[in-house]
Amino acid sequence: MIDTIDVKKEISKKLKERAIVEGFTIAGIASIPGSSRIKLRTNALERWLSNNHHAEMKWMEAERRKNIDSLLIDAKSVLSVGFTYINSHNKDNKLFKVAKFSQGEDYHKVIYKKLKNIGKWINLEMPDCKWKICVDTSPLLEKAWAEESGIGWIGKNSNLISKKHGSWLTLGFIILTEDLIPDKPHQSLCGKCDICIDHCPTNAIVEPFVIQSDLCIAYHTIESRDKFFPKKIEENLNGWVAGCDICQNVCPWNKSVPYNNNFETTQKEWIENLNIESLSWDDKTWKKKLKGTTLKRIKPWMWKRNIKANLKNSKMKI
């Protein structure tokens, strides 16, 4: 007689191994509805929203985000995966800085394609299992479920941190109707360290684990559609024109992590060469440059706004 638990253990192990084969750095499984920490994380989201810390990111208010069952009927498990995007061959632009997560191929498409391949594998191994892919465009408590799956913990800078791979990870998920064997939820290893909080130039980390978006350089350079930046943001850009990596650059867990040196994470040449002359690019040129990257979220007029704001507080002339 076949032991049901042994079968579940074996298929759970194979599922995580398949994720690694597809190119993910780390993988873990959580049971739905999860432990009590999911409720605590949901409560934290509600406090964050009630304080309007999400600024103009109204999509964060979606009620479905608080209930994973709303994304797939009869959901029982979730596979969480992390994709390393830091590449040792990437070079820092000496003038204008672009956050590392966006320097290569559009991670949404990269992760979705890999998860789709895993889905095909699920169809063969578990024919009766229904599944749903979620990247960060889905209303899901992503980092909470990643933490619940044991692939890392939510750091004081609100990024998911892996003990071995640091925080240079984009996340993906597959929700399944199959009852699998969960991994142990990860415990926080930030301890008393406040380096990320101390180094944020705009004090956007208003308390451990809480980001006030309208104080965040990444929010203003990527999400904000205002024509001008608040003075405090403008004065502290220090070259950032698309996102900001400061709180990750200073994190001790990122001091020595494995790189992912493939074409998907390789920096686009134009990013390395971004300069003052880029202000003269027309919309067609910007569209061509941004094609295939997540940076297309930043519209051409926003790129020019971001560049001009940096120049305004430097010795360079437009």
Q: What mean pLDDT do residues 1-23 have?
A: 89
What phi and psi values does residue 201 have, to the nearest 5 degrees?
-70, -20
Q: Do both 217 and 149 map to the same domain?
A: no
Q: Do both 37 and 165 map to the same domain?
A: yes
Q: Do both 207 and 133 map to the same domain?
A: no
Domain boundary residue, one of 122, 145, 176: 176
Q: Do both 45 and 82 map to the same domain?
A: yes
172's enclosing H/E stretch is strand 169-176
Q: Do both 55 and 172 map to the same domain?
A: yes
Q: What mean pLDDT do residues 225-251 have?
A: 96
Q: Do both 75 and 209 map to the same domain?
A: no
207 located within any domain? yes
Q: Higher confidence at residue 10 or residue 318?
A: 10
pLDDT of amino acid 103: 96
Q: Do both 167 and 241 map to the same domain?
A: no
Q: Any bridge partners for residue 26, and if so which?
A: 82
What phi and psi values does residue 84 have, to the nearest 5 degrees?
-70, 130
239 located within any domain? yes
Looking at every residue in the chain, the average pLDDT score rounds to 94
Domain limits at 151? 4-90+100-176
Find, among 234, 223, 246, the residue nearest to 312 by Cα: 234
Domain boundary residue, one of 126, 148, 176: 176
pLDDT tens digits for 171-207?
Answer: 999 999 999 999 999 999 999 999 999 999 999 999 9
Catalytic machinery residues: 136
Tell me: pLDDT of 269 over 80.
yes
pLDDT of amino acid 179: 96
pLDDT tens digits for 133-166?
Answer: 999 888 899 999 999 999 999 999 999 999 999 9
Find, among 17, 37, 41, the residue nearest to 29 by Cα: 17
| Contacts for 49-55: CB closer than 8 Å, 24+ residues apart | 51/212, 53/206, 53/210, 53/211, 53/212, 53/213, 53/214, 54/213, 55/213, 55/214, 55/219, 55/223, 55/224
113 located within any domain? yes
- The tally of domains found in the chain comes to 2
153 located within any domain? yes
Q: Are strands 77-84 and 169-176 parallel, antiparallel or unpaired?
A: antiparallel
Domain boundary residue, one of 141, 176, 211: 176
Q: Do both 55 and 84 map to the same domain?
A: yes
Tokens for 67, please give them. 């209930």
Tokens for 94, please give them. 């000496």
pLDDT of amino acid 1: 38
83 located within any domain? yes
Q: Do both 157 and 295 map to the same domain?
A: no
186 located within any domain? no
Start-end of H helices in 32-153: 36-50, 107-125, 142-148
pTM here is 0.93
Tokens for 130, please give them. 């229904």
Q: Do both 109 and 244 map to the same domain?
A: no
Q: Do both 24 and 105 map to the same domain?
A: yes
Q: Do both 156 and 211 map to the same domain?
A: no
